[in-house]
Structure 1
Amino acid sequence: MKYFAILMSFIISGILVSCSSDDGNNSKITSSIEGEWTASDLDYSGTTTFVFNGETINVDFVGEAYDMNNTLVFNSNPNTVISSGYYSIELTFKMLGEEYTETAEDLEFLEDGTWSLSGDKLTVINGDESTVMLIKELTEHRLILIIEEEEIIDLEEISSTAKIKGVLNYIR
């Protein structure tokens, strides 16, 4: 059970880090991103592969946000983004034929920073951290962001590779 707790810690920490976008999606951008956006839905999915004592363990997971009160405010001149509020997420893991559920509460999506938009790539910079997201849809009333990341963690006894995708929906 100790190792299960370690595995879940790796997965949850991998999901909650800064993410970078993918390149294969068609985008629909018909409006400006400037203004206030309120989170309406957030879903995660992915796979984490662990190698422990020479054995490989694959863990598939899905996550759905709840108790969302997160907002993003995009300003111009200068291009700043202000993030406020939190969300919680319920993660369901499938590992070795078993299903487990964990929750993480009071999470932030982004930290305040500066933003830039190049085509359908939205970049937010906070200090030395950069988050790149794909804008799947940006209309007068809807913003859909796609985030994808691959994270590799190597420790003495265990290594993991996590592939994570998040779909974030905002409205105004």
Structure 2
Amino acid sequence: MKNTFTHFFFLILCSVFLFSCGNDDNDPQITSELEGVWSLKSMDYDGKYSAYQQGELLDEGTFTGKASEISMTFEFKGDQLVASGSFNMTMEYDLFPGVVYKVPVSGSNFTGTWEANGDKIYFQTLSGAEEAQIISQTDNELVFKMSSTMSQAAIGAENVFEMDGVYVLNK
């Protein structure tokens, strides 16, 4: 039973990486530096999860993962964001050491808005808002960290994921 819930919740977790996004004041200098087409080069993440059935805790633990076979772009134009492409998500749960789950994420196209302020980028899409912290930025590379908490419920089950992801994009 735990294995079925783990697989179900892993698929739900994948959706947070596709549709994470926030909003705040805009810094024109940072905005112009970020404008353009960026390719996702890597995405590494870790976090913890809790799985519940009818309010009873079934499982909790930690996970790590990364994206591979990446063909994903993000276009920052004005205040608009257009993302498209695909990648594979891999994840390893502490519950199943040595077992790596691999899920293809294709057709991950979405649009939204974005703003930059200081060392923050705020994204907004139909699925919600997210805030990213810029770790480093050059003319050709952008590295940011985004923390997310997501809760999904279905058929009396609920899964809560708290994760930190580091994204590397190149122009």
Q: TM-score, normalised by structure 2?
A: 0.77
Report deviation, 1:9.
1.4
Report deviation, 1:151.
2.4
- The counterpart of 2:76, out of the listed 74, 77, 82, is 74
What code does the residue aligned with 2:99 have? Y
Over 3 Å counting, the alpha-carbon distance change for 1:153 and 1:114 in structure 2 is: closer
Whole-Å Cα distance in 2 between the matches of residues 15 and 37 of structure 1?
A: 21
Aligned positions of 1:8-157 closer than 5 A: 8-17=7-16, 18-19=19-20, 32-52=33-53, 54-55=56-57, 57-76=59-78, 79-95=79-95, 98-107=97-106, 111-127=110-126, 129-153=128-152
What code does the residue aligned with 1:10 have? F
Asked if the contact 1:20–1:148 (Cα under 8 Å) also holds between the matched residues in 2, the reply is: no
**Greater Cα offset, 153-162 or 119-128:** 153-162
SS in 1 for 2:2: helix
* Equivalent pairs, count: 160
What code does the residue aligned with 2:118 have? G
Report deviation, 1:154.
5.3
CA distances 1:14-61 after superposition (whole Å, capped 9, x unpaired): 34314468xxxxxxx7x8111121111111211112345845522221
| Alignment-derived partner of residue 25 in structure 2 | none
Over 3 Å counting, the alpha-carbon distance change for 1:109 and 1:134 in structure 2 is: farther
Over 3 Å counting, the alpha-carbon distance change for 1:80 and 1:5 in structure 2 is: same
Q: What RMSD in Å do the two structures reach over aligned CA positions?
A: 2.7
